[in-house]
Structure 1
Amino acid sequence: MAATRVKPDYFEAHFNLAKAYTRQERLTDAIREFSVVLQINPGHVEAHYNLGIAYSKQGDIAKAIREYLIATTIDPDYFMAHNNLANAYLSLGRTGDAIREYEQAIQIDPGYTIVHYNLGLTYAAEGRTADAIEEFATSIKLDPGFYQAHYALGVAYRMQGRSEEAMLAFQTTLRLHPDHQDAKKELAGIRGMLK
């Protein structure tokens, strides 16, 4: 904080202070400091991205989207900005835009498990079950211990009437996370149908 008083145009000090405020959930202070950074250096991609995060945490999704869009315009390969932009679109029900951004993020970094998972959930919500299964399977290949992806895969298989595969996915979910109540219910339901 002293650095910002001694040299008010030292944008890195403002940036670091803003990030500290974000970690402390002092979002109004963080937004103020990120805005100072952007007054000094309008092309600071990390400031736009982090300002988007702060707005998102405040629930101002429109402003978060604006900042993520600016970040992806400055750096089209900014993987996490595309991911967060997709999450923001999804929170507004803009699934087509969310899918486009998740797909863009995967093109940039195909090895990021959660994006495949999020894209799978979005496909599932759109009724694109086969595409969802593919994304959940990719997520599991990248992180075999990701129990949420196993569970989502089981639900997708069940939706397609693929009971045996669904059972295996739910059993794997329970092996990884024994207290997963929804997986227990799904497994019991399938077993009841197969009797």
Structure 2
Amino acid sequence: MNIARRSFPHYPRLIALAIGLVCAGLAWADDYGDVNGLIRSGRAADAIARADQYLAAKPRDPQMKFLRGVALTEAGRTAEAIAAFTALNAEYPELPEPYNNLAVIYAGQAQFDKARAALETAVRANPSYAVAHENLGDVYAKLAALEYARAQQLDPANGAVPQKLTLIRQLFPAAARPAPATPATSAR
């Protein structure tokens, strides 16, 4: 599954933020790049500190809150990352990326129903968000693999079930295991 690390699309509630960023100059844009660079270089703790410093001055900035959540995920601070993305979802429900990232964490914990619900919300928020659609397909495959395995246990004589399970495992070699909660190295 993929954790999105790209900028948010332009939504009505974020237009004022974009105008503010332009008016503030390139200094703020450098902060996003700096935090993103720290995350990519494996310095999640430094990225969190930098994001916290930025958010002390601009506490309602959704993009920096998002980057902080990604850094928390990278740092293995899962409970805090869940709290960060959940708060971002509550404050900006029209943004699909935090739902996607929350789903990746849930999938990594084998909480596939929660992951599915988060991804379905991401897709409703932005029907053209391809990463969420792909991740939703992965979650459905994981759920299908679990159900086929359960069916195989209940009815070992059913010859169709092992074939279906084998096909899913060939498509998704780790279909029965949780997806890693680490972000992709490139934004999609």
Q: Does structure 1 conserve the Cα–Cα contact (< 8 Å) formed by 2:39 and 2:74?
A: no
Are residues 1:48 and 2:49 paired?
A: no
Q: What one-letter code is carried by the residue in structure 1 that aligns with 2:43?
A: R
Letter in 2 for 1:17: D
1:118-157 correspondence runs (5 A): 118-127=135-144
Could you say which residue in structure 2 is the equivalent of 1:104?
Answer: 121
Shift in CA distance, 96/71, structure 1 to aligned 2, threshold 3 Å: same
- Segments of structure 2 that go 5 or more residues without pairing to the other structure are 1-26, 147-159, 172-188
Which of 72, 89, 105 is equivalent to 1:88? 105
Aligned to 1:61: 78
CA-to-aligned-CA distance 1:78-136 (integer Å, 9 cap, x gap)? 1111111111111122222111110011112222333223212222322389xxxxxxx
Preserved CA contact (<8 Å) 1:18 1:30:
yes
Larger RCO, structure (CA 8 Å, separation 6 or more)? 2
- For 1:19 and 1:112, how far apart are their aligned partners in 2? 21
Q: How far off is 1:26 after superposition? A: 1.7
Contact 1:14 1:36 in 2 (8 A): no
Q: CA deviation at 1:23?
A: 2.9
Contact kept, 8 Å, 1:22 with 1:30, in 2: the verdict is: yes
Highest Rg: 1 or 2?
1
Partner of 1:153: none
Aligned amino acid, residue 124 of structure 1? A
| Cα pair 2:72 2:80 within 8 Å, conserved | yes
Q: CA deviation at 1:47?
A: 1.3
Answer whether contact 2:66 2:88 (CA < 8 A) is retained. yes
Gap change, CA 1:75 and 1:126, over 3 Å in 2: same
- Structure 1 window deviating more from structure 2 (81-90 vs 13-22): it is 13-22
TM-score normalized by the length of structure 2: 0.58
CA distance in 2, matches of 1:36, 1:159: 54
1:75 to 2:92 alignment: yes
Provide the alpha-carbon RMSD of the alignment. Answer: 2.9
Percent identity between the aligned chains? 23
Gaps of 5+ in 1: 1-9, 130-157, 171-181, 184-195
What amino acid is the match of 1:118? Answer: N
Runs (4+) of structure 1 moved beyond 6 Å?
Answer: none
Q: Give the SS at the match of 1:127.
A: helix
Amino acid at match of 1:20: G
Bigger mean CA deviation after superposition, 115-124 or 29-38:
115-124
1: CA distance between counterparts of 2:44 and 2:98? 19
The Cα shift of 1:27 comes to 1.4
> What amino acid maps onto 1:67 in structure 2?
A
